[in-house]
Amino acid sequence: MNLRKYLVLLGVVIFGASGDALLSRGMRQVGEIQLHHWQKLIFAVVHPWVALGVLLLMAFFASYMTALSWADLTYVLPATSIGYVLLAFIAKFLLHENVSATRWVGIGLIAAGVGFVAQGPALTHHPHHEEAPPQVLSRGKA
């Protein structure tokens, strides 16, 4: 894997964690929303923290799609789940949320899983099978 691919994975991690954190901060300021109050839903989308969070989550999605274009889902998803670790630290120290011991244990397990995934290949290599050319069916003939 080259530096560009590592940067894409880093982008997935940073954009996802930052976008979620900003979305959380903005929604705390907006308050509870119920779907039948669509005016408040629109206000929430244009709230500065929410809007910035949405933009970062769009960057996350673009980075994620890029990573999936060259690696297996079974590699990309666990490798980028280190973002959950980053998000826990952001929640604890920037959003001042209470992160229980049980959650820290779970986050540690995620980090350990990322270590296991990093040891494997990014892309599953399939044996090369020569495919037969597709058969063309003519109309009216079975």
- Please state the domain extents for the chain: 3-118
| Span 108-120, pLDDT tens digits | 998 888 888 778 7
Give the pLDDT of residue 92.
Answer: 95
Count of CB atoms situated within 10 Å of the CB of 128: 6
What is the pLDDT, as a whole number, of residue 34? 87
Segment 31-64, tens digit of pLDDT: 999 888 888 888 899 999 999 999 999 999 999 9
Model-level pTM? 0.79
Mean pLDDT value across residues 5-31: 95
Read off the DSSP letter of residue 124: P
Over 90: is that where the pLDDT of 66 sits?
Answer: yes
**Encoded tokens for 107:** 């986050």
SS3 140: coil
Residue of 63, 70, 65, 62 whose CA lies nearest to 123: 70
